[in-house]
Structure 1
Amino acid sequence: MKFLDQAKIYIRSGNGGAGCVSFRREKFIEFGGPDGGDGGRGGDVVAECVQGLNTLIDYRFQQHFKAQTGVHGMGKNRAGARGADLVLKVPAGTQIFEEDNETLIADLTEIGQRVVLAKGGNGGFGNAHFQTSTNQAPRRANPGQLGIEMTIWLRLKLIADAGLIGLPNAGKSTFLATVSAAKPKIADYPFTTLHPGLGVVRNDGREFVLADIPGLIEGAHEGLGLGDRFLGHIERCRVMLHLIDAAGDHAGKAYKTVRGELEAYGQGLEAKPEIVALSRVDTVDAETLKKQMDRLKRAIKSSGPALEDGEKPRAPITLSSATNTHVVETLRALQQVIDLAKEPEKRAAVEQDWRP
C-alpha cells in the first residue's frame, strides 16, 4: 500500500427535497383539501476515525464526494425520505483543515470519533403545511435548502509512542527492522526511506509503537532533501530516539544539524524528551568511538533540550542494530520515558472515573 499523508478534496452535503403541491381527489370526500408532503432532509458529510488505516491513499484518485439529496415530498401526505449520509473514513491522527490549509476544523485521534463537516439542507414544506382557516387550498410549497459545499485538506500525523530521527543513513530503518516486524527498505545510500513507517516494538512483556521518518539534512526546513514536512508525524510522539552515525565525519555536528532543523520546524519538537544513541558502533574502532562520544557529549550539553535545575543530560547510548549491542537497553530507556509521559493521562482517567 502506498503512503499518502495529505490530500485535498471537495465535499458537498445533500440538498433538501422539495415539498409537494397536491390535493385529495377521492370520490366520496367532498372537500378533500391539500395533502402535499414535506421533502426529506439532505445527507450530511461526516468524517469518521476508523481502525485498520494508516494512510490517506483512498483520497488520491477520488477527490469529489457528495452526499445524497433528500427525496421530494409526495401526495397523500407522504414525506420524502432523508438522503443518506456520506462517511469519509480516515485513520487515527487525521487533521481536517479548511481550504486555506491553516484553519483547523477537527483533529481525529481516537477510533470511533465522528465529526459532521457539512450538514445537509432541510427539506421543503408541502402545501399541507400552509393550510389555515382562511387559506384552505394553498397552492404553494417550499423548495429544499441547498447543501453546503467546501474544499478541505486532510493531513495525517501518525500516532506513535516514540519516533526515530537523524541524518540519512544513520541506521534508523535498520533499528526499526531489528526491534519490530516492520520491513522498511534498507540500503547503503542516503534517503532510502521515502515515507514514514510504523512498527510495534515488544520488549519485557510490554509494547509500544515506533515511527521512522525520512532523514533530515541541513536546510530541510527550506525544502532541501525531502524537506521537513514528515516531522509532523513525530509531533504526537512522547519521546524521540536520535540516532547519530558513529562512522560519520563529526558526531557533534551531525547532532547539532538535526537539532537545528527541529528548532526551525517548531511545534514544540525541540523541547520533546530525547534519547541520543551513537549507532553503528560496530563499524568503527575503539579510538574513533571514544572521540565521537566525546564530541557528541559536548554537543548534547550545548544544544540539547532545555533541562530543569539540577538535572543532568542523559548520557548517549552506544548502539549497534547489526550486533544487537545495547538494543534492549535502548528500548527500556524509551519505555521508561513513555511510561512517565503516560502517568498524567492515567491519573486524569482515574479522577474522571471516580464516583462518590
Structure 2
Amino acid sequence: MSAGAAAALQDQARLEPLPFAALAGWEADDHAAAYRAFLRSCRALDGAAAALRPAQPPQHDLLTVCRAALRNPEPSPAEARRFFEAHFQPVAVTPRSGGGFLTGYYEPEFQGSRAPDAVYRVPLLDRPADLVTVPQGETLPGLDKGLQAARLTKNGYEPYPDRAAIEAGALGARARPIVYLREPGEAFIIHVQGSARIRLSDGTVMRVAYAGRNGRPYTSIGRLLVQRGEMDLETMTLDRLMGWLKDHPEPAKALMRQNQSYIFFREASELAPADGPIGGAGIPLVPGRSLAVDRSLWAYGLPVWLDGELPLALDRTEPLRRLMIAQDTGSAIVGPARGDFFFGSGAEAGRRAGLLRHPVRFVVLQPKPRS
C-alpha cells in the first residue's frame, strides 16, 4: 500500500486487527473457491512483476503471498483455509462516518447489431484517440482535481465532454461505434455495469469490455428517481428502472444526462464464452467471488471478508459470510468499506444485483509483513 493510500485510510476509517475466530461463519465458507479466485489475481500480479511495470508495481507483501499460493494451485478446502490463516491478518474496516455498504453488479445481455438500422440505433462507442486517463492521485495542468480524464488539444489539456455533449455529437468522427442496441436505457445499463454480452442477429455473442471513461463524476439515476418521488427505494429493482426508462423516453433522456460520466468500450474477443467479463485488474471476474473496491485505497488481489445479507427478493434475504477477492473498481465505489459484489451474467444475475443495497461488515485480509 502506498503511503498516500495508508494515510487516506487512517483519515477515513478505524482499522482493527482481529483473529480469524472473530469472523462469524469463517469455517463454513468455501475456501477452495476463494483460493481459485485469488490465484487469478496472483497470476496477473506475478506477471506484472515479471514485466517490471513501474507505473503500478504489485504490493510487495501481497506478491510474496501470491508466489507461495502459485506453488500449490489445487489445495483442498482445508489447505486453502490454512493458507489464508497463515498468510493474512484480518483487519476490520469501520468508516469514521457511516458504515460498510454493499451493492451488486453483473454482466448484462442484450440484443444488438454491428450495423445501425431502424431497430438497432443506440451506439456503444470505442475509446477515442484523444482521451487521456489521469493516473490515480494525479492532476494534469489546467484540470480540476476531481477530473479523472482529459482531452489533449494543441493548447494543452482540457476537460473531456460530459454525457450530454457526447450524445449530442461533441466527439464527431472520433466517436466510432462498435455495436448498436435497441434502447438508450440498455446502453445506459451497460455503462453502469462496465461490460456486456451482445447477442447478434446471426446468433453469435459479442463481448464488450470497459475501455475508458470521460472522467466526469458518476450520478445514480435511481437515486434521482427516488428523490423525485417517481419510485421508492424499498421497491426499486433493475426491472422497474429499465421499464421506467423505456416508458418515459424524453424524461429518461434528460435523467440519464444528469449522470455526466460516459463509458467507452472495446470488443473483448479474447474472452471464452465461459469467462466472466474483464475487471479493473485486467482479469476475468468470478461470479460470487469478485469484488469491486475503491482502487485508491485497496490493492487488487486483496481478500476481503464480507459479513451481511444477500437479498433473494425484496422481502427475503440469506446470510452473506464470504471471502471475496478485490478484482475490480467503479466510479461509484468510493470509500474504505464500500464494495460491489459481482453476481455473474444474464437476467437472473441482474435481478439479484439490482436488489443488493445493504449494510455490510467489511474485513480486509492484509498480507502479513515479509522480509
Q: Same fold (TM over 0.5)?
A: no
Q: Which structure shows the higher strand fraction?
A: 2
Q: Which has the larger radius of gyration?
A: 1
Q: Which structure shows the higher helix fraction?
A: 2
- Greater relative CO (CA pairs within 8 A, separation 6+): 2
TM-score calculated relative to the size of structure 2: 0.20
TM-score calculated relative to the size of structure 1: 0.21
